[in-house]
């Protein structure tokens, strides 16, 4: 699993990848990098960890807004569709009104659920930046076998500061490469 704080790619600079055996060390490294003002942090881990999301400073997921907007649009569309159908092809039975809201509730509800679910899936893919057509430049297979990784993109003088912070948490491995390289 990969969690990224920023998605912008720098044209020049360095990337530093630190591999840790323990989650606590990776969390302290992330918090230290954030306190130092470094923003372009990517965390790798074998399974989802909410502590890492908190350390990266994530707020609530914006996918819930996609679900709300999709549900409201679906409900409005369902109401508009059923109203238009009744007005365009009126079927007057027993003096009942042509626009009968209680009869439309089922269609409105179903459209709300359909559009809400579809927009949630679309929002999930967009906010997760999926599918990832470009392979990860920096990756270590150990991250799927229990290790934790912290990758930081740095430029200029912030490189030394980032190196000190990462080394301060006793990483198992520390690798450095030019941003834009094809491999580690």
State residue 2's pLDDT score.
61
- 70 and 123 fall within a common domain: yes
Distance (Å, rounded) from C-alpha 85 to C-alpha 140?
A: 58
127, 147, 165 — which closes off a domain?
127
Q: Are residues 103 and 68 part of one domain?
A: yes
Angle at the Cα of 143 from the Cα atoms of 142 and 145, rounded to 5 degrees: 60
122 inside domain: yes
Same domain, 55 and 144: yes
Predicted local confidence at residue 3, as pLDDT: 65
In the chain the first and final C-alpha atoms are separated, in Å, by 18
Same domain, residue pair 13 and 54: yes
Q: Alpha carbon 111 to chain centroid distance?
A: 26
Q: Do 53 and 70 sit in the same domain of this protein?
A: no
pLDDT value at residue 133: 79
The pLDDT tens digits of the residues spanning 129-179 come to: 888 777 666 888 899 999 999 999 998 888 899 999 999 999 999 998 877
Kindly report the pTM of this predicted structure: 0.71
On the question of a cis peptide bond just before residue 105, with omega within 30 degrees of 0, the verdict is no
The number of CA neighbours under 13 Å toward the Cβ of 40 is: 16
What is the structure's pLDDT at 1?
62
Name beta bridge partners: 43.
Answer: 3, 150
**Do the domain assignments include residue 23?**
yes
* Domain identity same for 149 and 170: yes
What pLDDT is stored for residue 11 in this prediction? Answer: 46
| Residue spans of beta strands (DSSP E) within 2-157 | 2-4, 14-20, 41-44, 148-154
pLDDT, block means (10 residues), the chain with 184 residues: 51 82 96 94 93 91 96 99 95 88 96 99 93 77 93 88 94 85 46
pLDDT at 95: 85
Give the domain range for residue 112: 63-127
Helices and strands in the chain: count of H runs, count of E runs: 5, 5
Which stretch of DSSP H or E encloses residue 173?
strand 173-178
Note whether 68 and 122 are same-domain residues. Answer: yes
């Amino acid at each position: 699993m990969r969690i990224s704080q920023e998605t912008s790619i720098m044209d020049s600079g360095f990337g530093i990848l630190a591999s840790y055996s323990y989650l606590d060390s990776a969390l302290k490294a992330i918090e230290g990098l954030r306190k130092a003002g470094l923003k372009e942090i990517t965390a790798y881990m074998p399974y989802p960890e909410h502590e890492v999301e908190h350390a990266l400073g994530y707020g609530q997921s914006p996918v819930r807004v996609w679900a709300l907007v999709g549900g409201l649009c679906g409900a409005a569309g369902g109401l508009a569709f059923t109203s238009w159908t009744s007005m365009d092809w009126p079927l007057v039975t027993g003096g009942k009104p042509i626009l009968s809201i209680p009869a439309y509730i089922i269609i409105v509800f179903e459209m709300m659920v359909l559009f809400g679910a579809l927009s949630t899936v679309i929002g999930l893919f967009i906010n997760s930046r999926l599918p990832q057509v470009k392979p990860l430049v920096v990756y270590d297979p150990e991250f799927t076998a229990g290790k934790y990784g912290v990758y930081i993109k740095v430029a200029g003088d912030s490189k030394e500061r980032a190196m000190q912070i990462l080394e301060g948490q006793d990483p198992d491995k520390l690798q450095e490469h030019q941003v834009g390289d094809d491999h580690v």
